[in-house]
Structure 1
Amino acid sequence: MNINNAYIYDNENINKYKCGTISNSYNIKLIINNSTFTNNEVKNNGGSLCFVNIDNLDLKITSSVFEYNKASYGGAISFCNKIYNKQNKIYYNNIEITDTKFIRNEADIFGGAIYSDFYDLNITYTKKLIFTENSAYVGGGLYSNSDNSLITNNNNKNKKEIKYNNNKSYSHGNDYATNPYNTKISKKTKNIAVKSGELMPFYFELIDKFNQVIIDESKYYSDFILTIYPDDISEDIEIEGNSCNFSKGKCELNNFKIFSEKPISINVIASIENNKINFKNEELKIDIVDCNDNQIKLYNEKRFYYCQDPICDVTCPVSEGKAMCKKGDFDKNQNTYLNQCVCIPGWTGKQCEFKVYAKICFKYIRIATSPIIIIILIIMLMISFYKRKRIISDIGYVKCELIFFGILSYFE
């Protein structure tokens, strides 16, 4: 089918089960040339063109404009369903788009201009494509699944041939985006050191294939559940607070703790439960270290150890920043009477109630101020010598001398 020099506009498809102003299925050979698709609206996918249940696809679009079209997925064009036949064999597909503009198209959810969830969509050639002021919740210009080539191949090969201008996305990818592909941990390193039982809050962010952080204000991906579990289940450890849901693209583990019987190094895996998307599991190395020298090692009912800072009598002003509590030599069970209240530098007294003032060495002050005093004396001598000069007489000889005498007295 050929569409040449056509102007297709102001069409509306209100059937939410039917896609596209023009819908295409099965074996398609379509050439669109020098045509304009404007102000078409579809309740389903593909405001202007929809390709669904395709066996063979040969599509060429040249010198055309798609503007002000609207749909749920793919404001202008939508490629729906995977390109498999019943025997799971990939059929032929070839797509060429040249000298074409996508302007102010809008999608409610994915792909302001173009949407695709084909597995192996073959974009063979693109040239002079312009995406301007298109918008969607995800992928203002383009959206595709992370496992197809709609964006990835073309952005790598033809960056100069595709231009993006002021496209907008409310979640991620103003110009182009994929579905969630991986996670990014808030920790700067994948080797983490923590004490047994110590609170270790951190979070994961969803990212797409272009490493764009997924904001997800509408909680579209809130059914994703992240769980951290040990790589080797034979390790004698216990993990608490190791599961969370993603909210606005972020999974926060605010109560994450690992307990062990002794200091060890373990590998843990962060896995996401979701039937729609296969995530790459994130592996982290966690070193469970011993307590600090000034901490007390305690054990719970399962014989896992945990660390506590020593606690002193209530009269010790630790909370006021005047003292620290030092572990007693024989304190193994957090006995306050065995621990010592020690004043931090700058405070003294039985309860650290007195400030310690620094002793000033006047010898070094004299050395520092001597050059200034010499300069002032020289200026005073010069004023005395040139006291009849107008610049001094106008101000007043005595007044000048008194000013510098005052400055000299300060440094003396």
Structure 2
Amino acid sequence: MYISVDTSTLVYGFKNNYLISDSSFQNITLKSSLPAIIDSKYSNFTINNIRISNLNLFGGLFNEESNYLFNNVIMKDITTTSRYLLFFTYHNTIFNNVKFDNINCYGDSGDSSLIFFDSGEKKKLDMNEIIIQNIWSNGPLIKIKGSSSELIIQNSTIEKTTIFGPMIENNSDKSITFISNVNFMNNVNNNKGNCGSIHLNYDMNITILESSFINNNIKSNGGVICIDNINNLELNIINNTFIKNNAINGGALYLRENNENKNYDDGSIIIKNNVFKENKAENFGGAIYSEYNKMYLANVENNTFSLNNAGIMGNIGYSPKNIEKTLFNIKEFNSSINDFTSLTTKPAYINITIDTTLRSEIYTGDLFPLKFFLYDELGHLYEDKTKYYSSMTIKVLLREKYDENNEMHYKAIENICSFVNGKRIKITLLIYIITDF
């Protein structure tokens, strides 16, 4: 049967208890912003063994101001122009064995989601045995906000989604995130201004266990996890696999603190028994990019890093500055890593080398060679193969050591050059003596 509804929802109510079971909702077109199936506030829903498919909507599916428990549900072949397909506010929401397939969310750019969860105070979004695949959304796939929220995702798969934002975005003031045995595969975040496959902010307690993140492509920072605007952070990343993820900075992980908050607690960070393989950053940090000043306190054990790549510098890890705080304790980092130049920072200092075998007397028109070497904070010679710092220049001036009263002055020409071609540069000074008559 085909149902075309212009202005009304299927069921309307207030403060009711609903059991919806063994049903199918199909071939529905709704030309208003009302919930397509049930518009009932302050109610309790248990939804078992149902199929929702072939819907064209201007709004979502259910009223947001109720409690929901979904069991054994399929949602497939749905299009909406709303800000969300599923919206939940101030209530705990549970999904068990739910499949989302071939859903398009065509709301406003950056503000359209499959699931929008407003936790208010201490509410939980609990998802177990979920499959989310073939989704197109004009904003984050799962968007969370509120004063304090808890997100649990277990035994689930999120794959083949093309999103203008992260797969998960949590902007709650305080949040708990628990992810276990989840597969993130072949997802795309096309939003250059919104980082990560998973984007978390502010005061965070994060645990990610036994999960796989493979071939996720991010047009911003953090190929998998972007932890941003850090106020306080408890982080546990244990027994996970990060393979072939791509981003601008931080092919797998990206961390950046809130520069306006200088009073955050030390927290704790455990990164243990993970595999980082073939992740890629267009610029810096093939596996990890960090601007978090508490990263040096991290407990980092038994991680495997192989074939990660950064287009400019830091195939394994990169921090712009203060690497003694913003990256791991390198001596305890991972005993299987031999090339610590894969950890690097921005250029920190320059050394000059002068050939002491050169004669001490220089005549007008003579050449005098100087070599300069560029180093990062770790003392590694900087190999700028991409010429990213080619605009950095040095100008050498001649100054008299003694203030002698004579009529001769010295001038060096050809005395400016740039850092190019990586390891070093060389300036050859052409010395002239100018005599006043």
TM-score with structure 2 setting the length = 0.52
The reply on whether 1:248 has 2:421 as its aligned counterpart is yes
Alignment of 1:10-21 (within 5 A): 10-21=186-197
Q: Which residue of 1 aligns with 2:306?
A: 132
Q: Distance in 1 between matches of 2:355 and 2:316?
A: 32
Q: Distance in 2 between matches of 1:16 and 1:146?
A: 24
Q: Distance in 2 between matches of 1:9 and 1:192?
A: 65
One of 313, 330, 336 as aligned partner of 1:163: 336
Q: Distance in 1 between matches of 2:328 and 2:400?
A: 38
* Alpha-carbon displacement from aligned partner over 1:265-306 (angstroms, at most 9, x marks no partner): xxxxxxxxxxxxxxxxxxxxxxxxxxxxxxxxxx63248xxx
The reply on whether 1:102 has 2:276 as its aligned counterpart is yes
SS for the counterpart of 2:420 is coil
Q: Which residue of 1 aligns with 2:297?
A: 123
Q: Distance in 1 between matches of 2:308 and 2:243?
A: 9
Q: Which has the higher contact order (CA 8 A, sep 6+)?
A: 1
Contact 1:40/1:70 (CA < 8 Å) preserved in 2?
yes
Q: Distance in 2 between matches of 1:90 and 1:188?
A: 50
The reply on whether 1:73 has 2:262 as its aligned counterpart is no
* Alpha-carbon displacement from aligned partner over 1:217-259 (angstroms, at most 9, x marks no partner): 32100121223346889856644234322222444322253x7
Contact 1:111/1:140 (CA < 8 Å) preserved in 2?
yes
Q: Which residue of 2 aligns with 1:45?
A: 221
Q: What is the aligned-residue RMSD (CA, Å)?
A: 3.1
**Structure-2 change in CA distance of 1:26 and 1:17 (3 Å):** same
- Range with bigger deviation, 39-48 or 3-12: 3-12
Q: Which residue of 2 aligns with 1:84?
A: 259
Q: Which residue of 1 aligns with 2:181?
A: 5
Pair member with larger Rg: 1
Q: Which residue of 2 aligns with 1:182?
A: 349
Q: Which residue of 1 aligns with 2:329?
A: 154
Q: Which residue of 2 aligns with 1:225?
A: 393
Q: Which residue of 2 aligns with 1:301?
A: 435
Q: Which residue of 2 aligns with 1:195?
A: 362
* Alpha-carbon displacement from aligned partner over 1:327-349 (angstroms, at most 9, x marks no partner): xxxxxxxxxxxxxxxxxxxxxxx
Paired amino acid for 2:435: E
**Any stretches of 5+ residues in structure 1 without a counterpart?**
168-172, 260-298, 304-412
Contact 2:398/2:412 (CA < 8 Å) preserved in 1?
no
Contact 1:55/1:85 (CA < 8 Å) preserved in 2?
no
- Range with bigger deviation, 231-240 or 213-222: 231-240
- How far has the Cα of 1:215 moved from its partner? 2.9
Q: Which residue of 1 aligns with 2:66?
A: none
The reply on whether 1:23 has 2:195 as its aligned counterpart is no
* Alpha-carbon displacement from aligned partner over 1:315-368 (angstroms, at most 9, x marks no partner): xxxxxxxxxxxxxxxxxxxxxxxxxxxxxxxxxxxxxxxxxxxxxxxxxxxxxx
**Structure-2 change in CA distance of 1:230 and 1:90 (3 Å):** farther
Q: Distance in 1 between matches of 2:178 and 2:386?
A: 40
Q: Percent of aligned positions with the same letter in both sequences?
A: 28
Q: Distance in 2 between matches of 1:202 and 1:153?
A: 36
Alignment of 1:58-69 (within 5 A): 58-69=234-245
**Structure-2 change in CA distance of 1:97 and 1:256 (3 Å):** farther
- How far has the Cα of 1:15 moved from its partner? 0.8
SS for the counterpart of 1:149 is helix
**Any stretches of 5+ residues in structure 2 without a counterpart?**
1-176
- How far has the Cα of 1:216 moved from its partner? 1.8
Q: Which structure has the highest strand share of the two? A: 2
* Alpha-carbon displacement from aligned partner over 1:57-112 (angstroms, at most 9, x marks no partner): 111111111111111111000113x44325x4455343211111101111111111
One of 350, 362, 373 as aligned partner of 1:205: 373
Q: Distance in 2 between matches of 1:232 and 1:127?
A: 56
SS for the counterpart of 2:329 is helix
**Structure-2 change in CA distance of 1:42 and 1:231 (3 Å):** farther
- Range with bigger deviation, 211-220 or 53-62: 211-220
Contact 1:151/1:176 (CA < 8 Å) preserved in 2?
no
Q: Which residue of 1 aligns with 2:31?
A: none
TM-score with structure 1 setting the length = 0.54
The alignment of Structure 1 onto Structure 2 pairs a total of residues equal to 253
Q: Distance in 1 between matches of 2:412 and 2:272?
A: 55
Q: Distance in 1 between matches of 2:254 and 2:323?
A: 14
Q: Distance in 1 between matches of 2:359 and 2:208?
A: 56
Q: Which residue of 1 aligns with 2:208?
A: 32
**Structure-2 change in CA distance of 1:99 and 1:226 (3 Å):** same
- How far has the Cα of 1:211 moved from its partner? 3.0
Q: Which structure has the highest helix share of the two? A: 1
